[in-house]
Structure 1
Amino acid sequence: MSPEEFRRVGKQVVDWIADYRAGIESFPVRSQVEPGEVRAKLPAHPPERGEDFEQVLRDLDEILLPGVTHWQHPEFFAYFPSNSTGPSILGDLLSSGLGVQGMVWATSPACTELETTVMDWLVALLGLPSHFRTDAAGGGVIQDSASSAVLVACLAALQRTGEDVARLGIRRRHTLYASEHTHSSLERAARLAGIGSDNVRVVGTDPDTLGMDPRRLDELIAADVEAGAVPTLVCATIGTTSTTAIDPVREIGEVCRERDVWLHVDAAYAGVAAVCPELRWINDGVAEFADSYCTNPHKWLLTNFDCSALWLADRAPMIEALSILPEYLRNSATESGEVIDYRDWQVPLGRRFRSLKLWSVLRWYGAEGLRAHIRGTVALAQEFAGWVREDPDFELLEPHPFALVCFRPRYPELSASEADERTHRVMNALNDSGDLYLTHTKIGGRTLLRLAIGSPATERRHVEAAWQRIRRAVQVR
């Protein structure tokens, strides 16, 4: 494709994206295709001769688009948002156009130094401790997801136990700690790091807040030490996936410090809310106790997937765990010790120029625009929660500090299991309609519906329409 052809077709692609985003409300929120339906329409073999890109766009419209679930739809309430915005899309396009592979500083200094800059910007924007800055002992790095972030934290925590796990391997039994509401990525990290999922301890929670019980955590750690294990990492969550519950980071941190255990704070969804000063209370204890901290701009901060921000209070154990320097990567900048090589801050060697899209978002919206987005979605969620609270046919789960609301219909005439079954039927009927998309969770053995607001396209009218549809679906008994 020549530059002239790229210019012509590229304009068509940008127009296609703009038209899609402008008309997104015309699509059913969740794809309506059956399993295998998209694949059946695709050729069984690749083309022998190249085709015009116009044909690619036609097939996108006719074959692929019906199989797309529209995450940017204003009535997509199923999962935490995966925001995609104009400046982020353009930043991603620039990254693709440059085609940088930024594994070490020398392979593209701007790739490394822009990432260092925007990660330090985020420290200031979110009110995080200054030792998370890259000009201090710690530093920040963009990972692909919070799953990779917790794996890196596990590897660094293993190394900090003093057993030189990176060189000698795991020679003793190590244990990790999480509540029942911690994201499953911690268990996966335990498997990948060689710790094993059987060595992940599930800590009890406060029945009112659903946050981890620090007293129970201390008891479990003490029992594991007595049994000869090495307590290695505790994962505290700020905004759990099920309900956005918040673990008491300060109290958990005090236990970790007393027991010399690494504290990783997973704030994948909720951490970016701290761009609003009135919500920075969520990070109580992070500055004093967190060894690592993660939040995802690609969820709620208007940045395309993938862009997960990980900070460490001390980067040395991570680099000891991950750094291998083959001859073909040796260069004078690395050997000078004056630069960051982000290949040592992640599991893969290669890395894209992800900071370009985050940089584009931060510059386009500014702190003021980011705060307006967070505040707007939180306000919509609180208004929705108020409608639920006032309706005698529904039960609301409290608290709901962010933009997720968990609730369930009341069916007093039914047993608990029958009520849960009917709640599932209501959710499935709503989702099958294509008018909105919800998910569910289970708390205390009971099924609750989850409505997550986060799209910048979502307005009050969309939330109000969703509520009316939900009420009608429940009333059809």
Structure 2
Amino acid sequence: MGSYPSEFNPVTKSLDSKEVEHLNPEDFRAKAHQVVDFIADFYKNIENYPASSQVQPGYLRTRMPQTAPDKPESLDAILKDVENDIIPGITQWVHPNFYGYFPASISSAAFLGEMLCACFNANGFSWVASPALTELEMVVMDWFAVMLRLPKCFMFSGTGGGVVQATTSEAVLVTILGARDRVLSKIGHEHAGKLVVYGSDQAHSMYNKQCKIAGIHPQNIRSIPARLEDEFALSPDTLRKFIEADVEAGLIPLFLCLTVGTTSTTAVDNINDLADLANKYNIWVHVDAAYGGNACICPEYRHFLDGIEKVDSLSLSPHKWLLCYAELCCLYVKNPSCVTNSLRTNPEYLRYKYSETDSVVSYKDWQVGTSRRFSPLRLYFVLRSYGVESLQSHIRSHIQYAITFERLVKSDGRFELVVPRRFSLVCFRLKQLNGYDASYTELLNRKLLEQVNSTGHALLTHSVVGGIYLLRFVVGSTLTEERHVIKTWEVVKELTNAILTEV
């Protein structure tokens, strides 16, 4: 039998010298203060970093050791490497000149909520596993529903309910599963291959992905073309033709995904008319309002949710525009039992006094996985720290900044708006030059986008809709002010001058 090293204690199974303290309160206090100072300085100096990372693929592997350290390293050394090696490779989503995708907004309030989430490390998969986690989530989801003026059929205080998912992808998946099993329980699982789902070709790419995960045959996923003359919203007449053709072919219409604020152009599908059509065929209607739905807390934008009482489910993401940090999506379901019947698990080791009662929510049955973080704390802190009126002002200020950029684009005859602005996204491009074809125009716009992002000053993104290549400028970063928008336009103009000089 081998002998232990002299410094090893076989009883504690640890090194007697330099023993690591996992969570000594005073040691944690000192190091946490150091990390908070690091974070505060990062935000304070955020404009000194490029908005878009300027590194090349593989850069970090050349800077990092090939193996983890054998001995503990100091926090000073770790933070130094974060500053020198990791931050340069981060696309700064919190930068005031980040205008790409849809931003993941931030706030001190949400940060504090996330700190407590990590502190408690609660796992609220069932009520008994963490009663406060379950009940706070139910309360906050109803608070948010009231802000959105949702009907009682989506609230726990009514006949429905809501749940925090990490992303819209998960929200869409669980609703498709609920819709699928609701239908198959009546007609038999042998007919699963006949199920058909519908959505605009402007719906988020995650929609097709979740349909496939749910077992929908790829040939039965209808991606319905949206047209420029409809401002890329889904046409009820076009949808009707698809549904009628499928019914005639003996297929079974199952699910319709509508969008309030598509990724490419923030197109808004007409919920009222499309839901009326879908309801005639008993189709589950889900509304993906991940971005645009947040604006609906403002009365002047609430009309985008008109007809919401006719749909089965709605999801929106406060992490995109309501200051909550990433991975916080709110899903509302009119008939929660459709989802929970599909996803329920009840092993003996999770059964307890209240598990069989209808009055107790087990959120494990509202999601794909089992474990649940205390994520609602972020939304809870934001709603209490800001109040509804301040959150409305936040949305309105971003929309006003987008209007400023829109006016600047209109003032320059070399540019055009591709679609009318909605919310805080401006879709624009260089116009087609006389004597040059559309492909050359696309080349110039690609070059402009590449050069804007390569400056590090700002980050914009692009899309292609209806065969049109366009640039996307969306205001959503918490730290953005009007001066940032104006300066970014000046950068765009300067680079445009240089590009067109070479033509």
Confirm or deny: 8 A CA contact 1:293 1:311 kept in the other structure.
yes
Aligned-partner SS, 2:159: coil
Given the superposition, is the C-alpha separation of residues 339 and 4 from structure 1 closer, same or farther in structure 2, using an over 3 Å criterion?
A: same
**Matches of 1:239 and 1:198, distance apart in 2:** 26
- Residue pair 1:188, 1:197 contacting (<8 A) in 2 also: no
Identify which of 469, 484, 489 aligns with 1:467: 489
C-alpha distance in 2 between matches for 1:390 and 1:422: 20
Q: 2:77 aligns with which of 35, 52, 55?
A: 55
> Quick check: 1:132–1:312 contact (8 Å CA) kept in 2?
yes
User: Residue deviations 1:109-162, cap 9 Å, x none?
Assistant: 000001001100000111111211113221000001001111011001112214
* Secondary structure of the corresponding residue to residue 335 of structure 1: coil
Q: Distance in 2 between matches of 1:429 and 1:164?
A: 57
Matched, 1:292 2:301: no
* Residue 335 (str. 1) matches residue 356 (str. 2): yes
Q: Which residue of 2 aligns with 1:248?
A: 270
Judge conservation of contact 1:32–1:66 (CA < 8 Å) in 2: yes
* 1:438 pairs with 2:464: no
Map 1:94-173; keep pairs closer than 5 Å.
94-163=116-185, 168=189, 171-173=192-194
1:401-458, Cα deviation, whole Å (9 max, x unpaired): 2000000012413210011011101110110110110101112212110001011211
Question: SS of 1:106's equivalent?
Answer: coil
Residue 60 of structure 2 aligns to a residue whose secondary structure is helix
CA distance in 1, matches of 2:186, 2:340: 12
Does the residue aligned with 1:77 lie in a helix, a strand or coil?
Answer: coil
TM superposition outliers: structure 1 runs of 4+ over 3 Å: 167-172
Mapped to 2, the partners of 1:56 and 1:199 lie a distance apart of 51
Superposed, which structure 2 residues align to 1:52-451 within 5 Å?
52-163=74-185, 168=189, 171-208=192-229, 209-287=231-309, 289-413=310-434, 414-451=436-473
Residue 451 of structure 1 aligns to a residue in which SS?
strand
SS of equivalent to 2:228: coil
Partner residue, 2:15: none
Aligned partners of 1:170 and 1:194 also within 8 Å: no
* Paired residue type of 2:276: E
In the aligned structure 2, how far is the partner of 1:355 from the partner of 1:434?
34
SS class of match (2:51): coil
CA distance in 1, matches of 2:184, 2:161: 21
- The alpha carbon displacement at 1:198 in A equals 2.2
1:4 is displaced (CA, Å) by 1.1
Q: 1:457 aligns with which of 462, 479, 485?
A: 479
- Give the whole-Å Cα distance in 2 for the aligned partners of 1:429 and 1:191: 37
Unaligned runs of at least 5 residues, structure 1 = none
* Alpha-carbon separation, structure 1, partners of 2:89 and 2:449: 20
Q: Distance in 2 between matches of 1:66 and 1:454?
A: 22
Q: Percent identity?
A: 39
* Cα distance in 1 for residues equivalent to 2:190 and 2:344: 15
**Kept after mapping to 2: 8 A contact 1:235/1:265:** yes
CA-to-partner distance for each residue in 1:251-278, whole Å, 9 max, x for gaps?
A: 1001111111000000001101011111
| CA distance, structure 2, for counterparts of residue 197 and residue 150 of structure 1 | 16
Do the aligned partners of 2:60 and 2:86 also contact (CA within 8 Å) in 1?
yes
Q: How much has 1:316 moved relative to structure 2?
A: 1.2
- Is the 8 Å Cα contact of residues 152 and 159 (structure 2) preserved in structure 1? no
Q: Give the conservation status (yes or no) of the 8 Å contact 1:440–1:448.
A: yes
SS at match of 1:151: helix
- State the one-letter code of the partner of 1:153: T
Name 2:18's counterpart in structure 1: none
Secondary structure, counterpart of 1:332 in structure 2: coil
Q: Deviations over 1:317-361 (max 9, x none)?
A: 111110011111111111233210000001011110000111011
| Contact 2:260–2:287 under 8 Å retained in 1 | yes
How many aligned positions are there? 475
SS across alignment from 1:39: coil
Q: d(CA) in 2 for partners of 1:354 and 1:427?
A: 36
Partner of 1:33: 55
What CA distance in whole angstroms lies between the structure 2 residues aligned with 1:170 and 1:74? Answer: 51
Give distance in 2, aligned partners of 1:306 and 1:443: 27
- Aligned-residue RMSD, C-alpha: 1.4
* Separation in 2, partners of 1:230, 1:7: 59
TM-superposition CA deviations, 1:233-265 (whole Å, max 9, x none) = 001100000000011111100111111100000
Give the match's secondary structure for 1:257.
helix
| Cα distance in 2, alignment partners of residues 442 and 168 from structure 1 | 39
TM-aligned CA deviation for residue 163 of structure 1: 2.7
Structure 1 window deviating more from structure 2 (99-108 vs 53-62): it is: 53-62
In structure 2, the gaps of 5 or more residues are: 1-21
Q: Distance in 2 between matches of 1:454 and 1:164?
A: 45
Three-state SS of the structure 1 residue aligned to 2:216 is: coil
CA distance in 1, matches of 2:56, 2:159: 52
Contact 1:172 1:230 in 2 (8 A): no
Q: Shift in Å at residue 169 of structure 1?
A: 7.5
Instruction: Flag the 1:231–1:473 CA change in 2: closer, same or farther, 3 A.
Output: same
Cα offsets for 1:207-237 (capped at 9, x unmatched): 3221101111111111111212111100110
**TM-score after normalising by structure 1:** 0.97
Amino acid at match of 2:383: L
2: CA distance, partners of 1:172 / 1:58: 56
Which TM-score applies when normalising by structure 2?
Answer: 0.92
TM superposition shift of 1:168: 5.0
Counterpart-to-counterpart distance in 2, 1:336 and 1:300: 37
Greater C-alpha Rg: 2
Q: Greater shift after overlay, 409-418 or 296-305?
A: 409-418
